[in-house]
């Protein structure tokens, strides 16, 4: 038996005294139930019970209690609670870990808020889970972009293009100089555009481009599907010379991602669609800091974080925290590339670089490239110019003076962020 | 191409005009993005765009807008929105369906609330997904309980018992006459109680009981784990004569459940741990009616619904709606057994039967059996007496007069529900 532990950090609200609530939660998620039962010996409690590591009082936010909450609202407290779970209870198994740290507890009626916001995991998880296979370095090598921000785009319209139209669009985007192209998450494997037809339409275009230029842009084919189809979908892509597969992590599950990782020969692009269902409420669910650790353990080489000034609900502070979280070392695993998307264009480069201090980012622009007034080539140039300027320490005004494509982009998408 | 569709029903709140918000949502989750892009032809829109099927105004609930919501709070509306998605967009693939009906939309900042509450699925899903293999009839046959409520219990303490203690407890519970016993969802495959040791401790006890009585209680071993271990875990149980495996559906994912279903030789007991993370908020996530359809398609023979008067947050009305949802026919699939648990005891039988009109239920009692003042045998008798009385049309008072074990239970757990 090891003495290793997992520490789970929660934000909770309750009308119970905090210490009591913490102990109920720890008991419910380990040895116990609300009442002591026969055979629940002191020895069992000592060895298997989760322990309250710390409780930090926080001010209430004014949010309404979750549905079904009991307790006097006047007595409500908010706290950051850290619980310590013996690893022996579940072993380094992510599915079984989740039952302990993120199982029934969301339904406890004494909790007016209960959100899992972080997990400290012992090294045993990195022994069992392989983590990213390619990471930043492997991704850069495959797309021939040794330094600078990795710039990519998304096929638009998301769905509905014929194979011929798709091939034509990919040719334009490759010629425009993108490092990376991805299927939309809505483009799965439906009868109107089966994966094998997309692969057949896209890969010859990229191969011809590579023959001409020596550079093969990375195309992330969305292979999201039932588990038994993941491997065949992956193999189809690899057999055609593809260098990346994408899955919607929540649709195949963390377990499905891990299953794919064990078989993958190319980087796995992790899309976070549906993450809002577990994370958008600040009263219940799982926060990005906790979730991204599990996604990385399960092997995502790329992971969506959103970007600043995005069209979704997250603030810049939240987005930057997500990017920082993905960039933080984790149990000696290979790195994962943060993927910045939604509303991205060249005018966000300086502010993003200033806040993150890195170009080890995959920045995806849909409208910012497809919608540039002078075409996709100018769209890519505007972003490349902006990121090179930012990384060189120039200010935005200098970048605008030096880059005509960026100036043109700013006319449509501006103003630039400082 | 088929003309089949999926209809997704949402509860939404927004400050945009409802028709406009509905169209934005439909566009974002099918052909489009907020702005029209090159190649998004009228033809593509006609064939692939999701359509607004209906919008029904609802009164506001007073809940606070989701974090990050934009728009004038004074203009906020609540509505039930039904969107119609062409099946061709994703095909009958649950993971790809989810990207359309439950993907990025939870993060749209124009939505102050967005919850997926129902799904109408076309028959193609039942062609691709096998659904429950055993259902009610197969479960009854395996546990030798041809009629009446199926009564079961959960191993307590949840974790920490030695193999010898576990075997002893299972012997007591079998002698007490339970139809069904399950591992706690916290009991996975950790080093302190590996699955193979539990199987070795439990199955000989059940086999000896079966030799004596002709009845082998069903034991649901929790085999939740990484995908690559599911099949071996299942095979271990079956090889030892086990008749049921349990998975935490959200931990292996719907895709993991479906993977297991294709290999299962015994009923799959579907635990819903972590469901609260996506469902407890009434402002965001996925409701039980929508979720349970996917779980059934993926093959759960049993599915947890909670029971009335449970210790979690759900109201009786919600629980009864969940039970009714699971019992509703779905695309010609085999039935799934609703599993009522948490706070269950004999005194809830009459009220539960009156509300559901059926005994095709698996009712699990932890304290109600382990904690009966005269022991587990009397606990099971109290529940059996109560359910037989209810199903025979007697009232609660008659049941109490006729059953000493139920009277004793009522002293401790009462009062009975009428």
**A114 and A184 in a common domain:** no
**A108 and A146 in a common domain:** no
- B256, part of any domain: yes
- A418, part of any domain: no
Nearest to B93 among A68, A95, A188 (CB): A188
Q: What is the DSSP letter of A287?
A: -
Question: pLDDT tens, position by position, for chain A (418 residues)?
Answer: 446 999 999 999 999 999 999 998 998 898 865 456 677 788 888 888 999 999 999 999 988 999 999 999 999 999 999 999 999 999 999 999 999 999 999 999 999 999 999 999 999 999 999 999 999 999 999 999 999 999 999 998 888 999 999 999 999 999 999 999 999 999 999 998 999 999 999 999 999 999 999 999 999 999 999 999 999 999 999 999 999 999 999 999 999 999 999 999 999 999 999 999 999 999 999 999 999 999 999 999 999 999 999 989 999 999 999 999 999 999 999 999 999 999 999 999 999 999 999 999 999 999 889 899 999 999 999 999 999 999 999 999 999 999 999 999 999 998 888 7
Q: Last residue of a domain, which of B104, B128, B152? A: B128
- CATH assignment of the domain containing A87: 3.30.70.150
Instruction: Name the pTM for this structure.
Output: 0.97
**A221 and A95 in a common domain:** no
Cβ contact (<8 Å) for B285 and A281? yes
**B18 and B94 in a common domain:** yes
List CB contacts (< 8 A) between B255 and chain A.
Answer: 226-227, 251-253, 255-256
- Check whether the bond before A415 is cis (ω within 30° of 0): yes
pLDDT at B203 over 90: yes
Q: What is the DSSP letter of A89?
A: G
**A143 and A123 in a common domain:** no
Q: Last residue of a domain, which of B128, B147, B173? A: B128
Cβ contact (<8 Å) for A96 and B48? no
**A-interface mutation test, from B33, B264, B306, most A Cβ less than 10 A away:** B33
Cβ contact (<8 Å) for A96 and B312? no
- A181, part of any domain: yes
Lookup result for tokens 């993450």: A275
Cβ contact (<8 Å) for B285 and A277? yes
**B363 and B379 in a common domain:** yes
d(CA A406, CA A400): 6
List CB contacts (< 8 A) between B280 and chain A.
Answer: 66-68, 106-107, 284
pLDDT digits (tens, 9 = 90+) for B238-294: 999 999 999 999 999 999 999 999 999 999 999 999 999 999 999 999 999 999 999
What average pLDDT does range B86-112 have in this prediction? 96
Residues spanned by the domain of A35: 5-128
List CB contacts (< 8 A) between A253 and chain B.
Answer: 252-256
Euclidean distance between the first and the last CA atom of chain A, given in angstroms as a whole number: 54
| Burial of A358: CB neighbours in 10 Å, binned 0-12, 13-18, 19+ | middle
Q: What six digits make up the tokens of B69?
A: 């919501």
List CB contacts (< 8 A) between B89 and chain A.
Answer: 159, 186, 190, 192
**A292 and A231 in a common domain:** yes
Compute the CA torsion angle A113, B253, B183, B219 (nearest 10 deg): 140
**A384 and A244 in a common domain:** yes
**A157 and A55 in a common domain:** no
pLDDT digits (tens, 9 = 90+) for B11-54: 999 999 999 999 989 988 988 654 566 777 888 888 889 999 99
CA neighbor of A380 nearest in space, from A150, A226, A210, A164: A150
Q: How many domains does chain B have?
A: 2
3-state secondary structure of B194: coil
- B224, part of any domain: yes
* DSSP conformation letters of A192-245: TS-HHHHHHHHHHHHHHHHHHHS---EEEEE----HHHHHHHHHHHHHTT--EE
**B139 and B124 in a common domain:** no
Q: Which residue blocks in B159-301 are alpha helix, DSSP H?
A: 163-175, 195-213, 227-239, 249-261, 275-279, 288-297
B286: nearest CA in chain A?
A277
pLDDT for res B45: 82
* DSSP conformation letters of A163-194: HHHHHHHHHHHHHHT-SEEE--TT--S-TTS-
* DSSP conformation letters of B120-189: E--THHHHH----SSHHHHHHHHHT--SS-EEEEE-SSSS---HHHHHHHHHHHHHTT-SEEE--TT--S
Going by pLDDT thresholds of 50, 70 and 90, the confidence category of residue B1 is very low
Q: Last residue of a domain, which of A113, A128, A143? A: A128
- CATH assignment of the domain containing A309: 3.20.20.110
**A287 and A332 in a common domain:** yes
List CB contacts (< 8 A) between B285 and chain A.
Answer: 277-278, 281, 285
- A122, part of any domain: yes
Angle between the A227-239 and A195-213 helix axes, to the nearest 10 degrees?
A: 30
**B35 and B157 in a common domain:** no
Q: What is the DSSP letter of B106?
A: G
- B418, part of any domain: no
């Amino acid at each position: 038996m090891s003495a290793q532990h997992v520490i789970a950090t929660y934000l909770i609200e309750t009308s119970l005294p905090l210490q009591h609530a913490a102990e109920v939660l720890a008991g419910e998620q380990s040895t116990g139930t609300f009442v002591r039962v026969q055979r629940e010996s002191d020895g069992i409690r000592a060895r298997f019970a989760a322990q309250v590591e710390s409780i930090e009082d926080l001010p209430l936010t004014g949010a309404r209690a979750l549905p079904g909450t009991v307790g006097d609202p006047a007595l409500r407290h908010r706290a950051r609670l850290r619980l310590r779970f013996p690893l022996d209870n579940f072993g380094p198994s992510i599915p079984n870990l989740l039952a302990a740290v993120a199982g029934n507890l969301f339904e406890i009626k004494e909790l007016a808020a209960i959100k899992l916001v972080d997990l400290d995991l012992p090294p045993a998880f990195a022994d069992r889970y392989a983590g990213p296979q390619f990471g930043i370095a492997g991704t850069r090598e495959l797309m021939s972009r040794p330094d600078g921000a990795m710039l990519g785009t998304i096929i638009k319209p998301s769905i509905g293009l014929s194979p011929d139209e798709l091939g034509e669009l990919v040719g334009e985007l490759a010629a425009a100089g993108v490092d990376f192209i991805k299927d939309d998450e809505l483009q799965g494997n439906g009868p109107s555009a089966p994966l094998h037809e997309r692969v057949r339409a896209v890969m010859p275009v990229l191969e011809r481009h590579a023959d001409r230029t020596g550079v093969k842009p990375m195309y992330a084919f969305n292979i999201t599907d039932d588990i038994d189809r993941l491997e065949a979908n992956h193999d189809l892509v690899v057999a055609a010379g593809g260098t990346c597969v994408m899955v919607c992590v929540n649709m195949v599950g963390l377990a499905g991602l891990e299953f794919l990782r064990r078989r993958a020969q190319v980087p796995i692009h992790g899309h976070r669609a549906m993450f809002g269902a577990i994370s958008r409420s600040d009263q219940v669910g799982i926060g990005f800091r906790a979730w991204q650790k599990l996604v990385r353990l399960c092997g995502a080489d790329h992971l969506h974080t959103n970007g600043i000034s995005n069209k979704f609900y997250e603030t810049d502070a939240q987005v930057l925290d997500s990017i920082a979280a993905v960039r933080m070392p984790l149990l000696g695993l290979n790195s994962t590339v943060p993927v910045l998307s939604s509303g991205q264009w060249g005018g966000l480069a300086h502010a993003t670089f200033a806040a993150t201090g890195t170009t080890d980012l995959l920045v995806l622009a849909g409208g910012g490239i497809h919608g540039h007034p002078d075409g996709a080539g100018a769209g890519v140039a505007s972003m490349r110019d902006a990121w090179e300027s930012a990384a060189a320490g120039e200010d935005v005004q200098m970048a605008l003076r030096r880059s005509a494509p960026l100036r043109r982009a700013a006319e449509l998408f501006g103003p630039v962020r400082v």
